[in-house]
Amino acid sequence: MQRRATGLTAAIAALGMAAVLAGCGGPGDSGDVTLKLVAADYGDSKANSSQKYWDKLAKKFEAENPGIKVDVSVYSWTDVDRKVKEMVKAGDAPDLAQIGAYADYAARDKLYRTEDLVSISTQADFMAPLAEAGEVKRVQYGMPFASSTRLLFYNEKIFKDAGLTPPQSWTDLAADAKALKARGVKIPYALPLGKEEAQAETMQWLLSGGGGYTDNVGTYDIDSTQNVKTFTWLKDELVGKGLTGATPPAKLDRAEAFAAFTRGDVGMLNGHPTLMQMAAKKGVKYGMVPMPGVNGHAQSTMGVADWMMAFKQKGHREEIGKFLDFAYSTKNVLDFSREYDLLPVTNSAAEEMTGNKNDKALAEFLDELPTSQLYPVGKTSWAQVSVDVKKYIGKAVDTNGNPASILSQLQTKAATEENAE
């Protein structure tokens, strides 16, 4: 590193060892270390591309840390995971990757452990549910970088015109949806179980029914009694009664459900913070409440996190650690969260956001985070299980669907994948 080179160079020159100096870096090499970071794009246009955020952050870091450069490449979510996978396969892993999954790389011993990178204070600042989700066999490899939870959005005007109050239980939700249908609302409740993000809507409903993808010890339990009851209720009480619109849930993607909400065609749907900005741009007034459960508010909601990970291949552990400590400072975490309507992943940033009136809307989502449950991302099998859920779960609520049968098939596939780990 450049800031350490002066004394060493003088000693080498005194010994007449210019050849050794040349061998350390080659002609023209300044001795700088360049960290390669590949990151996902959270922006929806060039104006707010994540590239701008990272370039600004890298410039500030480099000014404070002479001798360390940070080269950032940002890709869309459609491409970023594939890009990193290709780089690793080609033997040219980035030093850092901010993407959607880490477990497979950790299982193949490609990643540094978190405790070997960041300071104790940085590691302790990660919010507990997120830090735990970044573990493989109780060792943290995935560092949460962005997070969100889900709330039930409802169209305030439609509800007010119908004289309705936001639902607190499944019974309330079904009754509200029935009333909205009677008033001609196209989609009383939007149930996106299409291939785009069916795993998210599914998990939200499983949790609200007292179940989930896994049991209390982390074993897949997709066809549990609670989960079968949940999807049977969805099939019979919402889909079967025409309360989810004309498009079958299996063919409705999240993006279209969100777009329909911003057109005023949807009464209720589960949404994440991005929907706030989308609705506001279209002039749609909305309210948000916790996800209803069987007999009242669900005991837990779904949390989602994206991950930062550090690859061992190039050996820049010390420099990576310095950059991560900088990136996870309270100010930088807040800047990113506010720019992209995401939740902070550290306790210090969360505390500041909670106390800031300008962050009131995001704070409503933040309130749900302590009791949230995340996808079982610590399992290398989850990537394939998620694909299977997207492919098959919509069939469970079709007219001729059999929830118990579909969930049993998914459980069998998940158990097979897990046993293959």
The string of pLDDT tens digits covering residues 298-328 is 878 899 999 999 999 999 999 999 999 999 9
pLDDT at site 185: 98
pLDDT at site 296: 86
Phi-psi sector, 9: left (phi>0), alpha (psi -120 to 50), beta: alpha
- The pTM (predicted TM-score) of the whole model is 0.83
Pair 252, 415: CB distance under 8 Å:
no
Q: CA angle, 230 as apex, 226 and 235 as ends, to 5°?
A: 150
- The pLDDT tens digits along the chain (421 residues) read 333 333 333 333 443 433 333 334 333 344 589 999 999 999 877 888 999 999 999 999 999 999 999 999 999 988 999 999 999 999 999 999 999 999 999 999 999 999 999 999 999 999 998 999 999 999 999 999 999 999 999 999 999 999 999 999 999 999 999 999 999 999 999 999 998 889 999 999 999 999 999 999 899 999 999 999 999 999 999 999 999 999 999 999 999 999 999 999 999 999 999 899 899 999 999 999 999 999 888 878 899 999 999 999 999 999 999 999 999 999 999 999 999 989 999 999 999 999 898 898 888 899 888 888 999 999 999 989 999 999 999 999 999 999 999 999 999 999 999 888 6
Pair 203, 374: CB distance under 8 Å:
no
pLDDT at site 109: 96
> In 3D, which of 328, 18, 17, 293 has the Cα closest to residue 170?
293
Chain-centre distance for alpha carbon 65:
30
Class of domain 151-300+381-419: alpha beta
Tens digit of each residue's pLDDT (9 = 90 or more) over 41-92: 998 778 889 999 999 999 999 999 999 999 999 999 889 999 999 999 999 9
Cβ count within 10 A of residue 401: 22
Pair 366, 354: CB distance under 8 Å:
yes
State the Cα–Cα distance between residues 294 and 241, nearest whole angstrom: 18
Domain boundaries, given as residue ranges, for the chain: 32-148+304-374, 151-300+381-419
Topology agreement, domain 32-148+304-374 and domain 151-300+381-419: yes
Superfamily for 32-148+304-374? Periplasmic binding protein-like II (3.40.190.10)
